[in-house]
Amino acid sequence: MAKEILDVMLAMRNTKQPYALATVVETIGSVSARIGAKAVIDEHGTLVAGWVGGGCAESITCHAALESIIFSRASVIDIDMDGDTLSEGMPCGGSIRVYIEPVLPKPELWILGHGRVAECLCQIGSLVGLEVVVSDPEVNRDNFVTASRLITNDMDLSQLTPAMGDYVVIATQSKSDHESLKRVLASEVDYIALISSRKRARLVMEYLRDQGFDEHELQRVKAPAGIDLGAKLPEEIALCVISEIVMERRGGSGARMQNQHLDVKRQSVLKS
């Protein structure tokens, strides 16, 4: 059973499928599950391996696991199986406590470009927990040590396949960036960043409108990319872009923490 669960978890990790691992951490009374029993539940709420008890115990666990995946948070649930009648579903005479932990694949950060900004994007992106893919004919492992994958032979952009939940940063700073944007806009990715001057960003956006992309589609494009930190150096520019990605990923506001604290204090004073 343990080997089966491990094999399933490894297979789901390799195919970047989210899942939840449910573990029985406590039992009371007469129950069929044992402490340490485990089950793997997929993103649809289906038990794909393991066992934590049959009947309603499995149903309740799968439902909680689905919520755990959706909201990206672990939980502990108590399942009471001490009913007195068959109509209550689980008249076993006991209860179990189950710890449910979501296991979510890392989002991928797709970087197009090979310059110093791209190198810094790769380094900082890896530090904040993103799986980095770099695509450019001139990239090499020496300058992109933390990248999980390098793509050097993709002139037609056929290997540029970001998924929903990933992030794309176009840092080519060349005449081909508008063509890259056309390809990325055909994907389901929500965050697309273009590192460019304001003039270049305006020209690229006008080109995309002329190509038939509507305003709803173009809202996915951050051009110019990043949060305004007054950046000048390549390292600072990369930090601005990664900061915007973290804000998008975590639902931040981009406001100063100090100001948020003062706003809370003001609201508290007004209410009192």
Examine the pLDDT at 90 and tell me if it is beyond 70. Answer: no
The answer to whether 19 and 103 are in contact (CB under 8 A) is yes
Q: What is the pLDDT of residue 88?
A: 42
Query: Which one-letter DSSP state was computed for residue 196?
Result: -
By mean pLDDT, which of 20-34, 84-98, 192-206, 225-239 is the weakest? 84-98
Portion of the chain with pLDDT greater than 90, in percent: 65
Q: What is the pLDDT of residue 85?
A: 41
The answer to whether 9 and 44 are in contact (CB under 8 A) is no
Cis-peptide, bond into residue 18, ω within 30° of zero: no
Examine the pLDDT at 84 and tell me if it is beyond 70. Answer: no
Examine the pLDDT at 87 and tell me if it is beyond 50. Answer: no
Q: What is the pLDDT of residue 268?
A: 63
pLDDT digits (tens, 9 = 90+) for 155-201: 888 999 998 889 999 998 877 888 889 999 999 898 999 999 899 99
Q: Could you give the 3-state DSSP secondary structure of residue 66?
A: helix
d(CA 8, CA 66): 17
d(CA 101, CA 55): 21
d(CA 185, CA 192): 8
Q: Where are the alpha helices (DSSP H) in the chain?
A: 2-14, 55-71, 116-127, 177-185, 198-210, 215-218, 234-250, 257-271
Q: What is the pLDDT of residue 35?
A: 93
Query: Which tokens go with 110?
Result: 């797709």
Q: Could you give the 3-state DSSP secondary structure of residue 219?
A: coil
Can you point out the beta strands (E) in 156-195? 167-170, 191-194
Q: What is the pLDDT of residue 53?
A: 83
pLDDT digits (tens, 9 = 90+) for 220-263: 999 989 999 999 999 999 999 999 999 999 889 888 888 766 66
CB-based burial, 249-270: b 16+ in 10 Å, e otherwise: eeeeeeeeeeeeeeeeeeeeee
Higher pLDDT, 261 or 33: 33
Query: Which tokens go with 14?
Result: 């390799």
pLDDT digits (tens, 9 = 90+) for 174-184: 778 888 899 99
Q: Which domains does the chain have, with CATH numbers?
A: 2-103 (no CATH), 108-250 (3.40.50.720)
Q: What is the pLDDT of residue 231?
A: 93
d(CA 247, CA 230): 17
d(CA 223, CA 178): 11
> Phi, psi at residue 24, to the nearest 5°?
-75, 120
By mean pLDDT, which of 2-11, 75-84, 186-195, 232-241 is the weakest? 75-84
